[in-house]
């Protein structure tokens, strides 16, 4: 598939048109940023890790009945996806309190959240991705009430599928962020599911295996990401824990 016009260059991915209508090409770059772009670096190979993990989870979710934008890999950092009209929301599912929720509300870091908590932010860097509620989402025409219920239900299901998978690897899925978009056929899961978009804690050591390692300078980011990729790869081979 040929890469066409660059449609969008985000902070970590570049999105291109392809030679097939309705199909886009997403390149996972090696750029890593935190704090809304205030901290940024290039980590060689990071894009490949995130592309691999995203592809794996899109496949896994598709097998479990979730419609995703994933179509296939073009090379080890390049993904073909269904073109979506993105819904400008970051849907966040939380199983354990960590990060911004602890700063904003009287939770303690590491406090289990059961049932899981789903929150949504309006995806707008200039406004600092402010939190948004259901009434605002409907008033702004981002989702109809039925679609909002669907997105919530899909998010809970994705959370369950991912949490169960990570538990098998000895990893807690603390929280994650996903984005949805639409085609004429309905709402699809888009964007990525990677170490940039999830919080993962090693159940044994409590170590972070995600972008927090970078955010807070907690060690070697690439080796943390590599450990997630290795464990997923082992599990794919049938598990050799």
Ligand X SMILES: Nc1ncnc2c1ncn2[C@@H]1O[C@H](COP(=O)(O)OP(=O)(O)OP(=O)(O)O)[C@@H](O)[C@H]1O
Span near ligand X by CB under 6 A; candidates 5-13, 139-147, 159-167, 210-218? 5-13
Give min distance, CB of 118 to ligand X, in A.
19
Q: Which two tokens stand for residue 82?
A: 């269904």
Give min distance, CB of 216 to ligand X, in A.
18
Among 2, 8, 45, 203, binds ligand X (CB under 6 A): 8
Among 172, 175, 179, 210, binds ligand X (CB under 6 A): 179
Q: What part of residues 18-77 is at the interface with ligand X (CB under 6 A)?
A: 24, 69
Cβ proximity of 91 and 178 under 8 Å: yes
Toward ligand X, which CB reaches closer, 172 or 192?
192
Among 27, 180, 190, 212, binds ligand X (CB under 6 A): 190
Q: What does the alpha-carbon distance between residue 200 and residue 26 come to, in Å, rounded to a whole number?
A: 24
Give min distance, CB of 111 to ligand X, in A.
27
* Residue number of the CB atom closest to ligand X: 10
How far is C-alpha 68 from the geometric centre of its chain's CA atoms? Answer: 12
Span near ligand X by CB under 6 A; candidates 41-49, 81-89, 147-155, 206-214? 81-89
Among 121, 172, 175, 191, binds ligand X (CB under 6 A): 191
Contact map string, positions 102 to 131, toward ligand X, x by CB under 6 A = ------------------------------
Q: Does 12 bind ligand X (CB under 6 A)?
A: yes
How many residues at the interface with ligand X, by CB under 6 A? 17
Residues interacting with ligand X, by CB under 6 A?
Answer: 8, 10-13, 15, 24, 69, 81-84, 86, 179, 181, 190-191
């Amino acid at each position: 598939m040929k890469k066409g016009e660059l449609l969008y260059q985000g902070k970590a991915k570049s999105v291109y048109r392809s030679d097939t209508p309705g199909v886009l090409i997403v390149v996972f770059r090696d750029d890593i940023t935190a704090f809304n772009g205030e901290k940024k670096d290039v980590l060689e190979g990071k894009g490949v890790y995130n592309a691999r993990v995203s592809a794996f989870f899109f496949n896994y979710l598709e097998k479990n009945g979730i419609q995703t934008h994933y179509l296939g890999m073009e090379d080890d950092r390049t993904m073909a996806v269904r073109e979506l009209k993105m819904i400008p929301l970051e849907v966040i599912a939380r199983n354990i309190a960590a990060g911004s929720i602890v700063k904003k509300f009287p939770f303690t870091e590491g406090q289990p959240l059961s049932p899981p908590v789903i929150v949504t932010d309006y995806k707008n860097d200039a406004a600092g991705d402010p939190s948004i509620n259901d009434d605002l989402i409907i008033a702004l025409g981002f989702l109809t009430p039925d679609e909002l219920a669907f997105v919530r239900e899909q998010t809970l299901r994705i959370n369950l599928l991912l949490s169960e998978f990570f538990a098998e690897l000895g990893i807690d899925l603390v929280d994650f962020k996903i984005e949805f978009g639409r085609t004429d056929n309905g709402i699809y899961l888009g964007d990525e599911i990677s170490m940039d978009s999830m919080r993962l804690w090693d159940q044994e050591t409590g170590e972070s295996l995600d972008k927090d390692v970078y955010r807070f300078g907690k060690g070697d980011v690439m080796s943390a990401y590599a450990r997630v990729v290795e464990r997923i790869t082992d599990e794919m081979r049938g598990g050799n824990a």
